[in-house]
């Protein structure tokens, strides 16, 4: 265990919580403005931590994504300073390295497909409310595809399912806001996002040309001492301030035939992906269609665990399952073809992964949902936020549109 660190998370892995000195209390705005990248408790196994003492970066634009991408990532992540970590994101279009025949389009934000940073140390901090610091300039434009745009795409997926081409596909829509660029804009947006409630895998990641702001509730992979776990999320219902209504929403989600079928289907896909890198007969499913309640929504999740084959590293395991089946559909390859055709553009950081790999402890990869990309172009900034859902034969197109609305709470918190 690293010197100066002790304590364990509920999952029994070393935390990043430094006990040798008092933990500073910082607003999210100040932490993001002055502390660089921020990683939430789901990544560290304890509380929030800021990456400091940058010692190296790996940045890969879309034009340079090639067959050796994940090998290059593994090589970069193999050198982690004692007491430090590698953190950053791998965008959805990194899948072009694994499946070049898909011809995935570039994301509209222009951010790198991969941006990883090697930090010499992680600085824990205690978040403090910072509503006063969260003002942003007035928007110059706001675009959000309406039901007339999204519903036909949902129906197109249903038609694909009924023809037997796929079992499920995850379709998303992009919400965008443009506004004048200003110093510290990413930090202010992140503080507004966190004001609605921080999810376990929240993260703020500055990168060349902008920043990635994530408030993900979903664990993609957690790898420690040869053990691997995945927790795909499928099935969403809004929270209510009324306890009776809130319980009704949760009960309806647990009983939903459509959501349960979708969740089980994706759990099967993740189990198959993990089987590529796990020892025979080691895979178990401790939870199937369990309920998790966050400040704004209820989710159904499942948990799949296994033991990695000898010599299989974390990035090799990631490549075997990337991108997460919960944001593609099944079968994955065909579902991704349908996604590209219907969405008509790349996804960027959305539906890729945010990763946190400390010198010692669990390597954690989230699914980059509830995630925004902030991109600067001269004196203008654009904030993109995608929201989507899994479509099956049981889907109701209008209900699917409303679900994407419920999942847009992070965008609304930033721009309203």
Q: In whole angstroms, what is the distance from residue 413 CA to residue 416 CA?
A: 6
Instruction: Tell me: pLDDT of 6 over 60.
Output: no
Q: Which of 222, 231, 234, 407 is catalytic?
A: 234
Identify whether the C-beta of residue 208 lies closer than 8 Å to the C-beta of residue 302.
Answer: no
Name the pairing type of β-strands 353-358 and 363-366.
antiparallel
C-alpha dihedral (270, 273, 275, 277), degrees to nearest 10? -130
3-state secondary structure 216-240: ECCEEEEEECCEEEECCEEEEEECC
Span 359-386, mean pLDDT? 97
Span 106-118, mean pLDDT? 97
126 catalytic residue (yes or no): no
Instruction: Tell me: pLDDT of 15 over 80.
Output: no
Instruction: Tell me: pLDDT of 399 over 90.
Output: yes
Which residue, among 274, 357, 367, 368, has the nearest Cα to 320 in the 3D structure? 274
The whole-number pLDDT of residue 26 equals 87
218 catalytic residue (yes or no): yes
For the chain, how long is the longest CA-to-CA vector?
A: 62
Name the pairing type of β-strands 201-207 and 353-358.
unpaired
Give the pLDDT confidence of 312-324 residue by residue, as tens digits: 999 999 999 999 9
Domains of the chain as residue ranges with CATH: 25-415 (3.60.120.10)
Q: Is the dihedral of CA 174, 176, 181, 184 positive or negative?
A: negative
Instruction: Tell me: pLDDT of 22 over 80.
Output: no
Name the E strands within 275-331. 284-293, 297-307, 329-330
Q: Which of 93, 218, 222, 400 is catalytic?
A: 218
């Amino acid at each position: 265990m690293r010197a100066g660190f002790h304590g364990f998370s509920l999952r029994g892995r070393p935390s990043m919580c430094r006990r040798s000195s008092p933990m500073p209390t910082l607003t999210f705005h100040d932490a993001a403005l002055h502390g660089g990248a921020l990683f939430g408790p789901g990544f560290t196994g304890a509380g929030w931590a800021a990456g400091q003492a940058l010692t190296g970066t790996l940045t890969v634009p879309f034009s340079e994504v090639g067959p050796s991408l994940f090998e290059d990532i593994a090589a970069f992540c193999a050198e982690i300073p004692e007491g430090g970590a590698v953190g950053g994101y791998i965008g959805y279009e990194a899948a072009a390295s694994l499946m070049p025949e898909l011809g995935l389009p570039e994301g509209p934000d222009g951010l790198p497909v991969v941006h990883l940073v090697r930090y010499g140390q992680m600085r824990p901090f205690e978040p403090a409310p910072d509503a006063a610091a969260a003002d942003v300039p007035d928007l110059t434009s706001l675009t959000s595809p309406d039901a007339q745009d999204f519903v036909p795409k949902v129906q197109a997926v249903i038609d694909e399912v009924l023809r037997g081409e796929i079992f499920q596909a995850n379709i998303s829509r992009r919400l965008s806001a443009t506004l004048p660029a200003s110093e510290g804009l990413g930090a202010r947006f992140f503080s507004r996002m966190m004001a609605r409630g921080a999810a376990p895998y929240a993260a703020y990641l500055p990168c060349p040309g902008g920043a990635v702001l994530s408030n993900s509730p979903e664990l993609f992979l957690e790898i420690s001492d040869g053990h691997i776990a995945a927790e795909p999320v499928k099935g969403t219902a809004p929270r209510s301030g009324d306890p009776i209504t809130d319980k009704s929403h949760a009960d309806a989600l647990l009983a939903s035939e459509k959501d349960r079928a979708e969740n089980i289907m994706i759990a099967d896909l993740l189990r198959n992906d993990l089987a590529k890198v796990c020892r025979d007969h080691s895979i178990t499913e401790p939870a199937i269609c369990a309920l998790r309640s966050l400040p704004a929504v209820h989710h159904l999740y499942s948990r799949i665990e296994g033991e990695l084959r000898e010599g299989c590293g974390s990035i090799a395991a990631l490549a075997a399952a990337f991108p997460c089946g919960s944001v593609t559909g099944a079968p994955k390859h065909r579902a991704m073809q349908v996604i590209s055709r219907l969405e008509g553009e790349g996804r960027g950081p959305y539906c890729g992964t945010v990763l946190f790999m400390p010198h010692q402890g669990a390597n954690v990869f989230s699914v980059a949902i509830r995630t925004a990309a902030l991109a600067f172009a001269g004196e203008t900034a654009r904030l993109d936020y995608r929201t989507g859902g899994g479509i099956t034969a049981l889907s109701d197109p209008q209900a699917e549109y409303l679900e994407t609305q419920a999942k847009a709470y992070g965008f609304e918190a930033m721009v309203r």
